Amino acid sequence: MGMPQTHPASASTLAASPGRSQRVRTLAVFGLATALLTTACGSADATDAETDIVRIAAADASGTNGLDPLAASAGASQMVVRHLYDSLMVLEEGEYRLELAESVEPNEDADEWTVTIRSDAVFHDGAPVTAADVAFSIAALAAPPSNRVSVYANVDFENIEVVDEHTLTIPLHRAGADFRESTLVVYSPVFPAGTVDFSKGIGSGPYRLDSHDDQTIRLTAVEGHWRGSPPVATLEITIIPDATARLNALKDQQIDYAVGISATGAQTITDNDEITLHNGGLETAFALSFAMNQQLEPFDDPRVREAVRLAADRQALVDTALLGFGEPAADVVGGGLPGYSEAITARSQDLQAARDLFEAAGVTELTLRTGEILPGMMSAAQLFKQQLAEAGVELVLDETPADTYYAELEKLATHPFQAFYYANRPAAVHLSAVTVETAPFNVTGTTSQYWTKLAEAQTIVDDDERSAAFTRLQDGFYESGGDLLWGYAYQIDASHPRVGNVTISQGVPWFGAASLG
């Protein structure tokens, strides 16, 4: 599998395309965003002299600011977590990599794992990171109010044993040969044992908390971090929900780096020498879905799910919503990454077959919960409304504000049909993290029969046999699952040319090795 410990320090850039909390409300987003940035960052002229800072704007749909790793889940909050807290393992450039952990090894039956951690990691308050801190962090992540309970469902956290200062053993309820990729790679930040108040943001990451309010988080570099001192002294992360407002703030020199701009916005600046576009490519793309919950009507009828998928012209959706900054997808996350089933290909539109299936199921109208949770999502929903109409079905669009779309995770699985996005991760990681019974993001309502097969696959110790089992799971999900995964949207960020060496991983920019020209 290969898990080198070095952190990548390169950014993918292109000159042209191809291939959280008082929230800023959409009604006033442009004016308020500008006022916010002027207050938080000062005017462009006032900040010219402050050259050792990167001012970043990003969206966040989770209603959090990232200081509490038990609550953060998307966008800006996830970026804050990534810089404040070291993780045991991470997924970068399509590979599983060790970070705070030096080794993660199973016993013969893969029902207990031994984790050895680095001896040179130190928390921001000066205390060394120990195995006891790791044990506490895992137990906290595995129990409410953590929103990652489902990820740690197989961990017998009450019986974790601290062997010595840097070693612990983690027992599982059942064999879990995929513990690295299904759990630690998905989410494994470490914080001090006994932490109940996260307002100080104490982790062992390369940046420590300087200040924060409901909209802006200011981080300062940790000198002598085990990775090495970050080249950029200060990161200032401001939450701006609207992609156009972020790009305008960049153009006005109120920020230095805009996370996630629209394809339309990207097209307008491809020839602008004062702005650099950063393209994460397929391996760090977002997988865009119209997700159907198989346990709710009418999507409990497989004919309806099939009809919805056949009604979609994926290339048209990609062309309209992504404008070349993406590519069609094929209903299972993981395209272009290791372990993806070769049998999975994008379906072609077949309006007559879709019409026949809808008529047989008695479906003439559907409602889609949607919102501009990523740039292009609303235009895709509007086009899909037209495509369904050609198949004889009226689609009602129930638009939800982007900044509250994911605020109530426990309610996500109550919606029959909704626009959704996932990080493009290897299929085995995605299926293990998202499609299990208790996962808040199990918006496709997978069934008990599927859960049994998934659990069986996860227990297979032999890597090749486990891979084959996950291939069969992918194929089954492709045939009858609940995702109409229509496209992969490349993560397109924009910055001033002086900002370099930014790595995008699972939609989260990493500035730990960033440079300023």
* pLDDT exceeds cutoff 80 at 128: yes
Residue 489: per-residue pLDDT:
93
Q: Is the dihedral of CA 232, 235, 241, 246 positive or negative?
A: negative
* pLDDT exceeds cutoff 90 at 390: yes
CA atoms within 13 A on the CB side of 319: 5
Residue 129: per-residue pLDDT:
98
Q: Kindly indicate whether the domain formed by 13-85+205-280+492-516 is annotated with CATH number 3.40.190.10.
A: yes
Q: Among 2-11, 172-181, 195-204, 417-426, where is mean pLDDT lowest?
A: 2-11
**In the numeric block, which tokens belong to residue 266?**
């990207």
Global confidence as pTM: 0.78
Contacts of 491 by beta carbon, 8 Å cutoff, 6+ apart = 260, 278, 279, 280, 284, 285, 286, 504, 507
Residue 389: per-residue pLDDT:
98
All CATH 3.90.76.10 domain ranges of the chain, comma separated, are: 89-184
Residue 409: per-residue pLDDT:
81
pLDDT-derived band of residue 231, with 50, 70 and 90 as boundaries?
very high
pLDDT-derived band of residue 150, with 50, 70 and 90 as boundaries?
confident
* pLDDT exceeds cutoff 70 at 5: no
| Bridge partners, 239 (sequence order) | 58
Per-chain mean pLDDT for the chain: 88
Residue 92: per-residue pLDDT:
80
Contact 138, 190 (CB under 8 A): no
Report the relative pairing of strands 276-279 and 492-495 from DSSP bridges. Answer: antiparallel
CA distance 291 to 369: 10
pLDDT-derived band of residue 50, with 50, 70 and 90 as boundaries?
low
CA distances from 3 to 8, 130, 180, 263 (A): 12, 22, 11, 34
Q: Is 90 helix (H, G, I), strand (E, B) or coil?
A: strand
* pLDDT exceeds cutoff 70 at 121: yes
% residues pLDDT > 90 (the chain):
74
Q: Kindly indicate whether the domain formed by 283-489 is annotated with CATH number 3.40.50.1000.
A: no
* pLDDT exceeds cutoff 90 at 20: no
- Taking residues 377-403, what's their average pLDDT? 96
Contacts of 215 by beta carbon, 8 Å cutoff, 6+ apart = 20, 22, 24, 36, 40, 238, 239
* pLDDT exceeds cutoff 70 at 136: yes
- Taking residues 127-140, what's their average pLDDT? 98
Q: Kindly indicate whether the domain formed by 89-184 is annotated with CATH number 3.40.30.10.
A: no
All CATH 3.10.105.10 domain ranges of the chain, comma separated, are: 283-489
Type of residue at 73: S
